Amino acid sequence: MQAAHSDIHQSITDTIVAAIERGVDEFHLPWHRSARNILRPINVASQKPYRGVNIVSLWATADAKGYSSGIWGTFRQWRQIGAQVRKGEKAAFVVFYKELQYTTEADDGTAETEPRLCARATPVFTAEQVDGYSPLEIEEPRTPFESIQEAEAFVAATCATIVHGGDRAFYRPSTDSIHLPESGRFIGTPTSTPEESYHATLLHELTHWTSHEKRCNRQLGKRFGDHAYAMEELVAELGAAFLCADLGISDAPRADHAQYLGQWLTVLKADKKAIFTASSKASEAAAFLKTFQRASGAVQMIEKATPRGTQPDLAGCRVTWSQSAGFS
């Protein structure tokens, strides 16, 4: 436990790297969520979801330990609601940043004060590690149809240009457009429907769409050098996973992303803060996309029955269909 406190960045990175390595053979990563536990981890005291790297870290811990509950809390938080962490249970760790003021002496002898963020490790336990906890009544989970409806409305609110056709999914920066195969070409998996596979892919490309300078202006070249492209793919993987969790969509792995596993592991093992950067950028992208939902209020959905070559009435949004999307 002391080691985790002394270097929380390394501890959390090690947890996530171990989870990635366990899933290499089947390309199942900690952020690939299925019906067993789709949603983001939630804090028992605030009832709010965790953010950033804490999402990935708690997902990885849950997978490694076989936990199905997504409710987490500190020893004190569990005790405050009348529950008790069982003796011998081992904690997972989440990280929070607190701004502290540091004073240094300038060349002229004057004191200079500057704010710095300090990472603090906090041990947490899941509901399956405590006694005396009665879960609050929760809403019935969305049906797959409701999740898809919400995903369609979510995407429509962004007004992103989406072109259907071809056999590849990608975001093209030069035209600021998302390209996807026709939805009917997607297939299901043992844990996701064809519709979920389509929308998970769309949310991945929509996360890439946020990298544009007019949006999140995400530039990873200076931070990651030759690995910048692979790290942008990791940001999109995580961003899509966070959004799928919020929308209740099962996020199955994409075979074409297995090629990045080696680079991800190389970077994460060499740089203990890399996963923190990627998770933070992914959370930023997801939060940016949610601003469209708040701005639009009640959004119209892209109806599946919309004829090819026509555009749904989405206040100027461009959604087009074509036989060939081309390649970037």
Helix ranges (H only) for the chain are: 2-6, 8-22, 53-65, 75-80, 144-158, 194-209, 221-224, 228-247, 261-270, 274-296
Decide: 103 and 97 in contact? Cβ < 8 Å.
no
Neighbouring-strand partners of residue 116: 100
Taking phi first (over 0 means left), then psi (-120 to 50 degrees means alpha), and beta for anything else, what does residue 45 get? alpha
Domains of the chain: which residue ranges? Answer: 2-131, 144-321
Q: Which of 56, 247, 268 is nearest to 147 (CA)?
A: 247
**Distance (Å, whole) CA 293 – CA 291:** 5
Q: Which of 221, 183, 174 is nearest to 202 (CA)?
A: 183
Q: What is the DSSP string of 271-290?
A: -TTHHHHHHHHHHHHHHHHH
Other CB atoms within 10 A of residue 307 CB: 8
Cα dihedral sign, 254-93-52-144:
positive
- Can you state the angle between helices 261-270 and 8-22, rounded to 10 degrees? 160
Q: Which of 299, 310, 225, 319 is nearest to 267 (CA)?
A: 225
The confidence score (pLDDT) of residue 139 equals 54
DSSP H/E element including 170: strand 170-172
The confidence score (pLDDT) of residue 100 equals 74
Neighbouring-strand partners of residue 48: none
pLDDT tens track, the chain, 328 positions: 334 445 888 999 999 999 888 877 766 777 776 645 668 999 999 999 999 999 999 999 998 999 989 999 999 999 999 999 999 999 999 998 887 777 777 677 777 777 777 888 999 999 999 999 987 655 556 666 688 899 999 999 999 999 999 999 999 999 999 999 999 999 888 778 899 999 999 999 999 999 999 999 999 988 898 899 999 999 999 999 999 999 989 887 777 667 888 889 999 999 999 999 999 999 999 999 999 986 655 333 333 323 333 333 333 343 333 333 322 2
